[in-house]
Amino acid sequence: MKSRASDSSKVSPTEPSGPTPIERITRPFQEFSETDAAGGALLLSATMLALASPWAESYSTLWEHKFTIAFEGFALSKSVLHWINDGLMAIFFFVVGLETSARPSRSKATSFAKLSASAR
């Protein structure tokens, strides 16, 4: 009768012994994306590439491109820059407002003084 410990130490020939080639390629990107500075570094490098490249004019033209939302008798046509400045920023501040209004109910601060002290 064989012991169970000796059976578990054997590796099946169909099981991979290490990371697959795809995992070896994608692992550095996954590790980078999990860092706090990844988004900022990516945004900064994309901006520098766009402004200091032969495509700088195309980058500027992209911001002035018209984007239209239209349906039966109504059309709203603004530049991409305008949509980002007005539309997405409004959504951003709406979400920030929701988060700030939910904060006092989750904290133990019951007075304005305690609440303002916790925000510092």
Residue-level pLDDT at 107: 53
Binned at pLDDT 50, 70 and 90, residue 74 comes out as very high
Binned at pLDDT 50, 70 and 90, residue 15 comes out as low
Residue-level pLDDT at 77: 92
**Going along the chain, which residue ranges are E strands?**
66-71, 74-79
Average pLDDT over residues 94-116: 69
Q: Parse the chain into domains and list their residue ranges.
A: 18-64, 66-110
Residue-level pLDDT at 79: 93
β-bridge mates for residue 75, sequence order: 70
**pLDDT greater than 80 at residue 102:** no
Residue-level pLDDT at 117: 61
- pTM exceeds 0.85, yes or no: no
Average pLDDT over residues 48-68: 86
Average pLDDT over residues 99-116: 64
Q: Is the dihedral of CA 35, 40, 42, 45 positive or negative?
A: negative
